[in-house]
Chain A
Amino acid sequence: MAREIGWERNVDPVGIWEHRGKVALVGRGHSTTDRRWDGVSMDKTLGAYAMVAAQAAMEDAGISPDEVDGVITSAGGQPGHRSFGEQWAPRPYFDPPYDTEDGLTFVTAEWLSRQLGLRNVKYLNSHGETFWNLMGLAFQAVGDGRCEVCLVPYPNGNLEGRYHQAEGLSAPGAAQWSSPWGWGLSGQGFVFDQYCRKYGSNHDRMAPFVVQERKNGLLWPHSYYALHEPEPFTEEDYVNGRWIAKGLSIFDCDRPVQAAACYVVTTAERARDMRQKPVYVLDHTEGMFQPRSLVQTLEESEEWSDILAKRAYAGSGLRPGDIDLFSPYDGFAINAQYFLEAFGWRGVKRGEAHDFYAGDISLHGPNPLNSGGGNMGTGRMRTAFVTDPMEQLQGRAGDRQVKVDANVAVTIGVLPGNACTLVFSTSPD
């Protein structure tokens, strides 16, 4: 089916979302989480995991496959609608009888719908991009009436080997402006360095945030770390991490994993009859920006995240004090501060994020930041950013359940230059 375009709410003034409170999240399901796919085990492909997640999500919502009339997916989990095999690690094309990557490192709505035997689907879309944008697209599609009971799987995978490695001495295209000087993840370190110079901080002051995220993530059963590396991660561990580029340590980088999640998104009206307490969607807003010149600067990171925050407040009608739970994307961990400060959550102003991290950001305190653990606590699944707020608002987050009254949750990702903000509430009003 054709790609939807122009659905994003990215032109100011956005105004209150026309479907505010009329769309709801009612179910979630997860596969297990592996470090990588071995390329041969057919029960561990992204397709297999998306099926497991979809079945769990339908069961969670208490619906039968026949009730589903839409499937919206981000087929490769990445921007650009490509499989991660194509985009990251080079993957030799699969041998016959398999004639496609669909269902292996790539999961289209068409494939999933066929595999699950969904008989009443009238809307299929495989063009969701990164996780937040995928959810925004699904919320808009359901609000617009393209479908009423929609499965929204998010597969994100990993293969053997290192990815993003540029070989050779030829620098064509965009690389001509960066590779001759060896520029790459130094861009992350550079902006963090600018931040620390401007506000008088240092990298070690990130430690309490990353350590708290791992603690939260270890309490989530689907987390990569809960499943495979359950020992605590300490401040000593963090400050002993090696630099990838100064300002960005190995423990600021999220660990790529192989996992899928799936959500059931429906109208507020249909949600009332389903098994779980509905989590209402108050808003989604998007934004994409381009650096003025060769590199993204701190000034731009702040300017863009300010625009995104203002847009989200205008679109949802909320003020900073209305947000009970805030979950800014953290892969890389050193980016979360730009969102936190832009949204002014708990009064945090520019330059104050690291002071805030030094305070009580625990699940049981007044400021439970990234209560789901983010990517640092769960691996690069990204889905903790929706599953956790959902479970917190439904009061079924188990050991992670925060002590503050959780009625409104906001999450934003991925990076300041390309992000979507999602706003959830226990009430449709």
Chain B
Amino acid sequence: MPRPIPIPDDLSRPFWDGCNERRLLVQYCTYCDRKQFPPEPDCRECGWHFHLTWIQTTGRGVIIGSSVTYDSRIVAWHDQQPYLNAVISLEEDPVIHFHSNLPGVPVHDVPVGAAVIVDFIEVTPGQLIPEWKLA
């Protein structure tokens, strides 16, 4: 199904390029030893951009909760309603979150607390986005 396609910008391009290599990257401040996602111009802790880089995550996470969308504001999604919206917490740093539609999981039977691993799906030729599946 056609879904909205992320448009990379200067700040986000490394993340989306990483996805295209099937690597899940997040911003990392080497000074604060702190991960940050989504990316920001500066580290929110120290306020500097000098120490910001990108690191690869394990790609392992946990489902921390969900909702089911019945009446989306995003018109492209209307055909898929009702659809599942889960939130994934990164295993090595649970304050880092990702979205997932958990393909294949029944919308009303989401195993909250279950382990998931990242996968990548193509939204348009040349652009992969992270998706998650039960581990």
Contacts and interface: CB of A to CB of B under 8 A. Distances in A.
Determine whether A and B are in direct contact in the complex, meaning some CB atoms lie less than 8 angstroms apart: yes
Interface of A: 164-173, 175-191, 193-194, 197, 242-248, 250, 290, 292-295, 297
B97 to A, nearest CB: 4
Contacts of B97: 293-295, 297
A170 B75 CA distance: 11
Contacts of A290: 44
A220 B68 CA distance: 35
B96 A293 contact: yes
22 contacts: A164-B73, A165-B73, A167-B75, A169-B3, A169-B5, A171-B6, A171-B7, A176-B8, A184-B69, A186-B67, A194-B65, A242-B70, A243-B70, A245-B71, A248-B67, A250-B71, A290-B44, A292-B95, A294-B96, A295-B87, A295-B99, A297-B97
Interface string B48-87: 0000000000000000111111111111110010110101
A338 to B, nearest CB: 16
Given A171-B4, A294-B99, A245 B85 contact: yes
B70 A172 contact: no
A180 B123 contact: yes
Interface residues of B, number: 41
B68 A176 contact: no
B20 interface: no
A84 B5 CA distance: 27
Secondary structure dominating the interface of A:
mixed
Nearest to A182: B77
Contact of B3 (A180, A244, A246, A293): A180
A178 B101 CA distance: 11
Contacts of B38: 177, 293-294
Contacts of B6: 171, 176-177, 179-180
Contact of B12 (A176, A184, A191, A243): A176
Contacts of B67: 186-190, 193, 245-248
A246 B68 CA distance: 5
B17 to A, nearest CB: 13
A187 B74 CA distance: 14
Interface string B105-135: 0000000100000000001000001000000
B2 A169 contact: yes
B33 interface: no
Contacts of A170: 4-5, 7
B9 interface: yes
B64 A181 contact: no
A166 B74 contact: yes
Contacts of B68: 186, 189, 243, 245-246
Nearest to A184: B73
Contacts of B12: 176
